A = this chain, B = another copy of it.
Amino acid sequence: MPQQPEQLRALVEDYLEELSLLPELGTLSEPMLYSLGGKRVRPVLCLATGDAVGARVEDLLPAAAAVELVHSFSLVHDDLPSMDDDAERRGQPSVWARYGEAAALLAGDALLTEAFRLALLYPTPAVARELSVATLEMIGGQWRELDGDGTLEEIHSLKTGGLFRASIGCALAAMEMPPSEQVPWRSFAGELGMLFQVVDDILDGDGFVVDLGEDGARRLADGAAERAQARLAEIDADTAVLAEIVAGLQSRTA
């Protein structure tokens, strides 16, 4: 029987807590581990995807953690003074505010590289390939947003969607699912990334809310959630927990 999101989240927390970083990083591990807060949305999705198709969730932990480390890397670098200049993150000093800019720069670089080391624990290079494309999309989206190049939807799809798609895609890659069987999963993942970002905009009152108003953004989110559920229903797997995660993302208030 598939595990509930809370159980999966606990597995992620335990794995991240015992994460063995390369010893050569020395005390740089402090700002790296300090950065690893958050709701674990992406790694839980990764594990739930594997669980739905009967994989051992333990086998998916390195892939799930790799996605989370890429997410953390992006936040550590985004908060830097030359980017968003955020001295706070989740009610605590951001990494640069606490450890200095040089430490935050190097900790972000090391988080990204450790993410690849984790993704490379698998015998197939497909997990790390998935991660490399998603990370480049994310960086490209970040750059386009700064540079004012692209529509809001394009930028969101790159900046946020890529890593959501990779949360699902890395699970499929780790399980070595044949590409033809991955198609409906990838449609699902695309809707999910959109859903997450639009709800983010509703909670923050920016992005799509500025373009479409709050009601318009809400309709967009509900449409994405509906399509995500429809895609899930078409998949021949035990997707009840994933359906619950979609509903949770649709109605979340934080």
A residues engaging B (CB < 8 A)? 22, 24-28, 73, 77, 80, 82-83, 100-103, 105-106, 108-110, 112-114, 116-117, 120, 122-125, 128-129, 132-133, 135-137, 139-144, 146-147, 149-150, 158
Distance in angstroms from A162 CB to nearest chain B CB is 8
Distance in angstroms from A230 CB to nearest chain B CB is 27
Known: A129-B117, A143-B28. A22 touches B136 (CB 8 A): yes
Distance in angstroms from A146 CB to nearest chain B CB is 6
With CB as the reference atom, state the residue of chain B lying closest to A118.
B132
Main secondary structure, interface of A, reads helix
Query: Is there an interface contact between B136 and A125, defined as CB atoms closer than 8 Å?
Result: no
Known: A83-B105, A129-B120, A147-B27. A22 touches B110 (CB 8 A): no
With CB as the reference atom, state the residue of chain B lying closest to A108.
B109
Contacts of A83 in B (CB 8 A): 102, 105
Contacts of A146 in B (CB 8 A): 102-103, 106
